Structure 1
């Protein structure tokens, strides 16, 4: 039997690279999406060797119409069905909302909300026709606290994932928003954030986040909050004043 295929965006580093690694180990063929073709090919070579799966690379800038269109076309191709979509690509802005240009904020909103929406729209018809599929949207615990436009976009993505799982889960397509806290990846270094205010116990490892996220998706959960510590913290945010929650959320700027 042919192996299932997983497409992962932002696949060359951080959580995206870990999703590709774990899906490859579970014998999924892979389509890796990121902007840097050289880094994609280097990652593909390692995964082919380590996992023995077919790995395709698809260089694309997912804040552009052309980039999203190329990935959407691959997702919608009936001759090469995609069984798992991981919407992981994204970035954050280190400055506060009023300090960014509206163009920066628009690009930010595009990659965090519009792009995953468009990619889901492209892959869903085929999944529904086949009666099975899995979609993982990498969100954040910022979705549950006042955290500027980043938290607002992640809140949208989490809410949309809940709707999609409710609507499409009974038809065989499981949709999960994976909402980690601080994770040891390149994410914060790339945005130039000062992480000195983040206490050691607040950090998670990428392998755990991905393992728990994939398990929750397989179980049909709409929202996955990796680790008990963060699940407990997010449950408590319902009873914490917004100012206190926002103060905690603004660590890492």
Structure 2
């Protein structure tokens, strides 16, 4: 059976990826900070889908713990066929009001972990001539969001994925950035963002994001934007001057006061 490793696997989009890949017959490696939630979820996947599930508790902002995940990805005796870099978090408030340690941790998880885990996985995938890497980015990465370092981290993830997809063309290794918009998960609550003003039409479901992402990956797309509303938003955004973009985003971003 093929094996998939998913980070941030206990909630939201990561959990939906793990459910879908297990249902498709992948053995799973689940990575997250909460060991108890990992074990509970692993038991569910084993019982429902009859697959092997390995749990790997790790805080990807911590060098030594992230290194354990890197070593697992580089283990040629137990190859990983699919890597989903999903772990990440946002913050609320202005840049200067957020303590430097929190901003650094966000950079370490949203950017550093994606870079290091992708770097660990690619050599073995190239040697085997196959492998898939899905980097969970965000629509926010296409826009300059005032007060947010989150959009900057996601712009990096998308650009990295696009660049590597060019470098790996013809190797059998596929890399794609999936860029969802607002999705019904724990993300916004954890970030302390107030989302009550956002119209219902802009909310996506995690399973929808995963379905569209995997469909796009298997069609050979490098960037996936789930949801017609967000496809339209990104397309229109490319036609609007950046000065006007910044004005619109500043006035309409949920959670700003």
- 8 Å Cα contact 1:162/1:222 also seen in 2: yes
Secondary structure of the corresponding residue to residue 239 of structure 1: coil
Distance 1:251 1:146 in 2: 14
Could you say if the C-alpha distance between residues 79 and 248 of structure 1 is closer, same or farther in structure 2, counting changes exceeding 3 Å? farther
TM-score, normalising length from structure 2? 0.95
- 8 Å Cα contact 1:180/1:226 also seen in 2: yes
Say which is worse superposed, 182-191 or 55-64, in terms of deviation.
Answer: 182-191
| Aligned counterparts, 1:39-188, within 5 A | 39-147=37-145, 148-188=148-188
Could you say if the C-alpha distance between residues 112 and 245 of structure 1 is closer, same or farther in structure 2, counting changes exceeding 3 Å? farther
Secondary structure of the corresponding residue to residue 96 of structure 2: helix
Distance 1:7 1:170 in 2: 23
RMSD (CA atoms): 1.1
Matched, 1:216 2:216: yes
- How far does residue 243 in structure 1 lie from its aligned partner after superposition? 2.5
Gaps of 5+ in 2: none
- 2:189 maps to 189
- 1:242 maps to 245
Could you say if the C-alpha distance between residues 6 and 245 of structure 1 is closer, same or farther in structure 2, counting changes exceeding 3 Å? farther
- 1:198 maps to 198
> How many positions carry a matched residue from both structures?
251
- How far does residue 53 in structure 1 lie from its aligned partner after superposition? 0.5
- 8 Å Cα contact 1:169/1:220 also seen in 2: no
Could you say if the C-alpha distance between residues 251 and 167 of structure 1 is closer, same or farther in structure 2, counting changes exceeding 3 Å? same
TM-score, normalising length from structure 1? 0.96
- How far does residue 166 in structure 1 lie from its aligned partner after superposition? 1.3
Say which is worse superposed, 120-129 or 164-173, in terms of deviation.
Answer: 164-173
